[in-house]
Structure 1
Amino acid sequence: MTGHTWTLLLILAAAIAALIVLINSRLRFHPFIALMTVSVGVALAAGQPVEKIAESLEEGAGGILGDVGVTLAFGAMLGRLLSASGATDRIARAIVDRASPRALPWYVTGAAFVIGIPMFFEIGLIVLLPLIFSVARRLERTHGYDGSPYVYLAAPAIGALATLHGMVAPHPGPLVAVEGLHANLGLSIGVGLVCAIPTIIVAGPVYGRWIAPRLDVRPDPELIAKFAGSEDGDQDTAADAVAPKNGVRTGWALAAVLVPVVLMLLRTVAELAFDESSQVRHALVFTGEPVIAMLAGFLFALFALGYRSGLPTEEIRSALTDSLKAVAGILLIIAGGGAFNQVLKDSGIGEAIESAASGLHINLIVLGWLLALLLSFSTGSATVGIVAATGILAPLAQDGGSLHTSLLVVAIGAGSIGLNYVNHAGFWLVKESFGMTLGQATKSHTTIQTIVSVCGLLMALLLSVFA
């Protein structure tokens, strides 16, 4: 490598260090501000013409928001409709009702898996808390569970929600990686689901069954009463407290969750099965575009779950507005990551990375996982971990439509959710919701997320044998 290549690589290392310091130091920069500031610094240090820097920032931020931002907005509104209409409660109840105590973790896993497809980790967990609290309290009273029934049921929910959030599009992290690496979306969803299923089993029901008897975790009684109703009522009080207030049928609820995912998968099937001149292929490719698929899913949910459930139209509009406020921060981080990635490309750092990697014998999947893991752990943001790792590795992902590139998407997403500790918002949500000590939250939440991360990597490596 030339001296200039080494200089560019040192600038990249300094940029990553600066990003970590700005976010974690006393300055406590918002990740968006940190990413934009570091992007400008990288461009100047790499000698990019000053008149081109603003153009790079705008192109990178605008491009990623055009590809991912609109899709993310539709996903947030879809998730809010599912919650407001009572559809998520209906799905969860349909899966969990009549389950035996031994089978309960597996049924909670199923509920979290379905609900987690369109919802972020934090939102999905909040939606599931009434179910977890009510069923855990009933399990404790009727069967005298030895250990913490709350951890027994929370572990599968955390494992499923975290896995889907990190590894399976149309969640924002995997979608950013798909876009940045030019991976095939349908193939990425497919291999993401294949990697997710065994990962969820190991991190959720299996680990939960082992750790729950070893932790004495009891949420605050007032919080339990808030989510699951009064304990003084009969055995059905908890179920009534979380029952859907609107007459949403389970079939409609499941359809609303699956419509966008199915449309995206059909696009890949059409590209493989039909000739380029086929009208069927053109139609399915169009409906399988992420923006179109999420719009279709949202409109389906709006009419099938929103208007048909009897919700007042003003309440629906207010709920949708609130859902967009909740993802504004994520959208900004994604925009900052897009700007950072574009600067790496325009300044020549991407070519320097490619030149350096050509002389190294390191598995790209392992490298992607490791970069995302370290960046996520050090910045406290899984999204930052994904967008930064994607920008660094994009020059190395040559064949965007290959299985290997889709597995790289999974590995980067898996890396971003490992070592989820005190600088992550999700850690504190779990800790405070279940009344855990710092040690208990580490043994449960942090360990579950790290198991998800490692299992996701192992599954990606296993499938890479066939790439």
Structure 2
Amino acid sequence: MTGHDIQLLIITVCGILLLIALITSKLQMHPLLALLIISVGVGLTSGLGIDKVAESIEEGAGSTLGETGLTIALGAMLGKLLADSGASDRIASVILNGSNPRSLPWLMTLAAFIIGIPMFFEVGLIMLLPLIFTVASKLEQQGSVKGSAYVSIGVPVIAALATMHGMVPPHPGPLIAIGAFNANLGMTMIYGFICAIPAVILAGPVYGKFITPSMTVKPNKDLLDQYTTNQETNQTKAPIPITTAFGAIVIPVIMMLLHAIAGIFLSEDNAFYRVAEFLGSPVIAMLIGVLAAIIMLGYARGTDTKQIRNSLGSSLKPIAGILLIIAGGGAFGQVLEDSGVGEAIVHLASGFSLSAIALGWVVAALLSVSTGSATVGIVGSTSLLAPLVAADPSINTALLTVAVGSGSLFFNYANHGGFWLVKESFGMTMGETFKTITIIQSIVGLVGLAMTLLLNIIVG
């Protein structure tokens, strides 16, 4: 490592600590302003240059909104339709009637595990928020959960979605590593599922049961009103059929799943693959899902069209702040990436004497933590290890891929968009968000490392 590398790492650590101080101190600065201020400060002190700092902030915020903003907005519309029609309440009632407070977190884990196979973390979470909030609010009214019902239900969902996003193909991260290492897709999926199951269990229901009694988390009233059923709207209508309620949720899930399956079995120049890729892209799948929900939950039930339009418009107001804060996180991450922090991390990790699997995990984790991007963690790790893999055919590339993916999940914090999505959606403080998504993904990452090392010993 050079002196400049050390300087960049120190600047990064100091920037994150100052960000926390601005938000949690007596200043109580809004997260968006704090993120932008720190982004400027880190950019200037790291030597980016005045013109490049502004460019990085704009690029990071814009790309983050481009990737997740439209999807989250469409997810909010879908959630509002589910709530106003009574669909989310209908599904929640079915789940509650067939379970108890002890088994409920496990059922939510299973649902999120399945939905997480084709869906990105942010998309899956925004899709499941109506169900999480509705189930949790009913549990809260029953008084059957000690502590926060929203943590009890939310933690298993977050754990399952995050695990699937990083460790199991056909998510983009694992696919990047598969291509770089020329790994077998089928074996990578098998190993990914084997490693994911204990990670989800420990980080989800088990950890959730441990922290729930000490948490008092409750989402903002505007979001609760948006994602839970408006009884006045539905009191004169017959209960929505359960098949219609479930159908409105699974349509975008099925479209993304078909894209994932097509990616496994078909080549990219296949006509069906191109159609599946288009229809299964998050924005298009969610757009079609919203349109289908408008028809199934609105027009088909005789809901006034003006009421539907007003409902969709009002759904965007509570998430406007969330989107901008996520964009601020993207700006901070882009500044860190452009400043060369990633290269400094690679220089640091290259001096470690570790096995290929452990080294891949460490590099992916360090890059993800420092730049706020799991993708950067995976790309940087695969770039460093690709020559080693080519020179040593004894390396299990499928397990290495899973290890890199699990490393990229480790310690999701203030420069990650997912951190802010969880924080603002559940109305958490910085400390509460750290206790949930940061610790959850750290558990997932560590379990992923342990499982890949264990499997590597077993399969030899």
TM-score tier by shorter-chain length is 0.5 to 0.7
Cα distance in 1 for partners of 2:75, 2:190 equals: 19
Q: Deviations over 1:347-385 (max 9, x none)?
A: 32322222222223465546766998xxxxxxxxxxxx8
Cα distance in 1 for partners of 2:210, 2:330 equals: 41
Q: Are 2:146 and 1:162 equivalent residues in the alignment?
A: no
Q: Deviations over 1:232-255 (max 9, x none)?
A: xxxxxxx99999955432222222
Q: Partner of 2:66 in structure 1?
A: 66
Deviates more, 1:454-463 or 1:73-82: 454-463
Q: Are 2:268 and 1:276 equivalent residues in the alignment?
A: yes
Q: Partner of 1:22 in structure 2?
A: 22
Q: Deviations over 1:76-98 (max 9, x none)?
A: 22222212211111212233335
Q: Are 2:5 and 1:5 equivalent residues in the alignment?
A: yes
Q: 2:248 aligns with which of 246, 250, 256?
A: 256
CA 1:262–1:192 in structure 2 vs 1: closer, same or farther (change >3 Å)? farther
Q: 1:457 aligns with which of 441, 445, 457?
A: 445
Q: Partner of 2:372 in structure 1?
A: 388
Query: Counterparts in 2 of 1:172-321, with a 5 A limit?
Result: 247-321=239-313
Work out whether residues 79 and 118 of structure 1, in 8 Å CA contact, stay in contact via their aligned partners in 2: no
Cα distance in 1 for partners of 2:101, 2:20 equals: 45
Q: In structure 1, list runs of 5 or more residues that go unmatched.
A: 138-147, 228-238, 373-384, 431-440
CA 1:264–1:464 in structure 2 vs 1: closer, same or farther (change >3 Å)? farther
**Which one-letter code corresponds to 1:8 in the other structure?**
L
Work out whether residues 95 and 108 of structure 1, in 8 Å CA contact, stay in contact via their aligned partners in 2: no
Query: Counterparts in 2 of 1:82-121, with a 5 A limit?
Result: 82-97=82-97, 117=124, 119=126
Deviates more, 1:97-106 or 1:294-303: 97-106
Aligned residue for 1:47, secondary structure, equals coil
Cα shift at 1:105? 6.4
Q: Partner of 2:333 in structure 1?
A: 341
Cα shift at 1:191? 9.1
CA 1:366–1:301 in structure 2 vs 1: closer, same or farther (change >3 Å)? farther
Cα shift at 1:293? 1.8
Aligned residue for 2:303, secondary structure, equals coil
Cα distance in 2 for partners of 1:49, 1:270 equals: 45
**Which one-letter code corresponds to 1:15 in the other structure?**
G
**Which one-letter code corresponds to 2:138 in the other structure?**
L
Cα distance in 2 for partners of 1:342, 1:451 equals: 23
Cα distance in 1 for partners of 2:302, 2:158 equals: 32
Cα shift at 1:201? 5.1
CA 1:182–1:199 in structure 2 vs 1: closer, same or farther (change >3 Å)? closer
Aligned residue for 1:308, secondary structure, equals helix
Q: Deviations over 1:215-262 (max 9, x none)?
A: 7999xxxx9xxx9xxxxxxxxxxx999999554322222222222233
Work out whether residues 133 and 150 of structure 1, in 8 Å CA contact, stay in contact via their aligned partners in 2: no
Work out whether residues 415 and 453 of structure 1, in 8 Å CA contact, stay in contact via their aligned partners in 2: yes
Cα distance in 2 for partners of 1:282, 1:13 equals: 43
Q: Give the percent of matched residue pairs that are identical in Structure 1 and Structure 2.
A: 37
Aligned residue for 1:35, secondary structure, equals helix
Aligned residue for 1:326, secondary structure, equals coil
Deviates more, 1:92-101 or 1:57-66: 92-101
**Which one-letter code corresponds to 2:70 in the other structure?**
V
Cα shift at 1:55? 2.0
Q: Partner of 2:389 in structure 1?
A: none
Work out whether residues 86 and 248 of structure 1, in 8 Å CA contact, stay in contact via their aligned partners in 2: yes
CA 1:87–1:408 in structure 2 vs 1: closer, same or farther (change >3 Å)? farther
**Which one-letter code corresponds to 1:49 in the other structure?**
G
Deviates more, 1:111-120 or 1:344-353: 111-120
Q: Deviations over 1:300-352 (max 9, x none)?
A: 22222232233322332222223222222221122222222222233323222
CA 1:402–1:102 in structure 2 vs 1: closer, same or farther (change >3 Å)? closer
Cα distance in 1 for partners of 2:452, 2:163 equals: 16
Q: Partner of 1:127 in structure 2?
A: 134
Q: In structure 2, list runs of 5 or more residues that go unmatched.
A: 117-123, 179-184, 226-230, 387-396
Cα shift at 1:126? 2.9
Q: With the length of structure 1 as denominator, give the TM-score of the two structures.
A: 0.66
Cα distance in 1 for partners of 2:58, 2:214 equals: 51
CA 1:241–1:268 in structure 2 vs 1: closer, same or farther (change >3 Å)? closer
Deviates more, 1:363-372 or 1:54-63: 363-372
